[in-house]
Structures are given as C-alpha cells and as structure tokens.
Structure 1
Amino acid sequence: MAKSYNPPTVWRPFGAFSQTVIAGAGRTVYLKGQVALSAENEIIGEGDMAAQVTQVLTNISEILASMGGRMSDIVSLQQFTTDIQAFMGCGEIRAGFFAAPYPVTTTLEVAALYDPRLLIEITGIAEIPLDRFVSPADAEEMHGPS
C-alpha cells in the first residue's frame, strides 16, 4: 500500500496533495488523461469548470473501480487546465474525491486542450493493492513477442 510523506525540511502542502508518495507491493495503473466526456463521448459542462472537474474525477473513479481500485489508490496526479484561477476554485470538489493522505499533484495552466470547450485534463498513476486488484477480462497485451 502506498504511503504519503511530507518531509519537515520543505514547505507543507497547502491543499489536497502530498509532497511524496512511496509505493510498492501492488499493481501499478497508469491513467490516460481524462477530460469531461460522458460515456457517450459528449462534453459535460461546457464553460463550467466545476462540472468538468467533477466529470473528470468521476471518470477516473470509475476506471479505477473497474479494476478493484479506489481514488485513495492514486499516488500521483498531473492536472492541465486552461484557467488556473477557475480550477483553484474547485478545491472542495477535489476534497470530495480524495482524503488524506493525498496524492502528489502537479497542476499546469496550458493554452488549450484538444477541444476548446474542454477546460481540464487530469492524468495519474495508481497502485491498487494485490488483494483488491481485478484484472480486466478484456485487457490486451501491449507488447508482443520480440
């Protein structure tokens, strides 16, 4: 199981994140960047950062759940937003998906995402403990024989 660590020699996290996460003894899951798309590939919350953050985190939660994972299994997040001020106002939404210890998090403001109606994209890495991990039946080998 992953452990959070905030060294006393650097600044204390001021939000829902940790300085470091130490992982081991589980299945590492690398998450593709999620945007505010519904299962039907429709953009949710056009122009509404809160609605898009909620949809993105819901997508991530559902992906993890499909393999026996939880949001607490996330060890690292990278967040890309087109409006850092609007995103920073969504801390309560994030707090509804995460509890301490928080994943390490990097947030960047970018000029644009692949569709101008999208305001946020979040990717991450999770470690699902072996006793909960469920390998998807339709998972495909990424690397064939050499």
Structure 2
Amino acid sequence: MIDAVNPSTVWSPFGPFSMAALQGDGQIVHLKGQVSLDQQGKIVGRGNMHAQVRQTLENIRAVMASMGGDMSDVFSLVHYTTDIDAFMRAGEIRNEYFAAPWPVTTTVQVVRLYHQDLLIEITATAEIPRSRFRRPAS
C-alpha cells in the first residue's frame, strides 16, 4: 500500500501527483526508463507526444504486470521529455493509468533521448505487495 503525503506546509499539488509517498512492506521494484517502443522494438507515434506517452505507460503497465503488479503500485515517476509543452498537453493521459494517491513526479526537458524520434522516457519505482509479487522467469 502506498500512502500519499501532501503536507499543508508546502504548495498544494496542481496536477495528478503527490509531494511524497510512503512505501510499506512490499517488494520494491525499480523500472528502467521506458520509451515508446512496441514489442518488436519499433517506435510508436513518431512526432506524436500523446501516442508516445500512451505507449510508454502501456510498457510500464506490462512490466509491472509481469511481476504481479499494477499501476496503483507505482509511487514515483521521472519523465524525461524533449518538449515539455507537448508533454504537459498530453497530461490527461496519465489519468487513465493513475489515480489518487498520485505518484510523486519529476519532469525534466532534455535535448534528446537515445533515438531522435523519441519524445518521452519515463522511469518508475513501485512497491508490489508481497502477496501479489511474483519473480519473473529469467
């Protein structure tokens, strides 16, 4: 179980994120930065931030599911984007994947990602309850 922390002593979150998250007794999982690649490793949504955000979050969901987790287990995200304005316009997509308590979030604009057609990379940290966690096959 992830508990959100939004103290009244700092500014209130203006979007779908929490200021801090407390982790409990589960298995902590650190996900590699995910990008908009399909199962065959082909880029999805060239030039389309909405499509790339959606595919990237679907990849995170798939990695989580492979260990018995779901998106509600994610408590921290870092977004690396080549266009922060386009990323902010695609923000409503996150509401399809996350609900309160929102993951803590950091967003950074970068010059480019490892491939020039990629617009977004997202890293995640999650805690999957031990009752659901299963170690993926090697």
* TM-score using structure 2 length: 0.98
Match of 2:5 in 1: 5
Match of 1:143 in 2: none
8 Å contact kept, 2:25–2:129? yes
Residue 121 of structure 2 aligns to a residue in which SS? strand
Structure with higher Rg: it is 1
Aligned pairs for 1:20-59 within 5 A? 20-59=20-59
Structure 2 unaligned runs (5+)?
Answer: none
Mapped to 2, the partners of 1:136 and 1:124 lie a distance apart of: 18
For residues 109-134 of structure 1, give each alpha carbon's deviation from its aligned partner in whole angstroms, at most 9, with x where no partner exists: 00000001000000010000011111
Mapped to 1, the partners of 2:55 and 2:95 lie a distance apart of: 14
Deviation, 1:2, is 1.6
What is the aligned length? 138
Deviation, 1:137, is 2.3
- Confirm or deny that 1:98 pairs with 2:78: no
For residues 65-109 of structure 1, give each alpha carbon's deviation from its aligned partner in whole angstroms, at most 9, with x where no partner exists: 111101010011000000000000012101111000000000000
For residues 49-68 of structure 1, give each alpha carbon's deviation from its aligned partner in whole angstroms, at most 9, with x where no partner exists: 00000000000001001111
* TM-score using structure 1 length: 0.93
For residues 4-59 of structure 1, give each alpha carbon's deviation from its aligned partner in whole angstroms, at most 9, with x where no partner exists: 11001100111111000000200000000000000100000000000000000000
Aligned pairs for 1:94-133 within 5 A? 94-133=94-133
Which ranges of 4 or more aligned residues in structure 1 deviate by more than 4 Å?
none
Match of 1:85 in 2: 85
Identity score, percent: 57
Residue 13 of structure 1 aligns to a residue in which SS? coil
Mapped to 1, the partners of 2:63 and 2:55 lie a distance apart of: 12
Structure 1 unaligned runs (5+)?
Answer: 139-146
Match of 1:142 in 2: none
Residue 32 of structure 2 aligns to a residue in which SS? strand
Residue type at the aligned position of 2:103? P
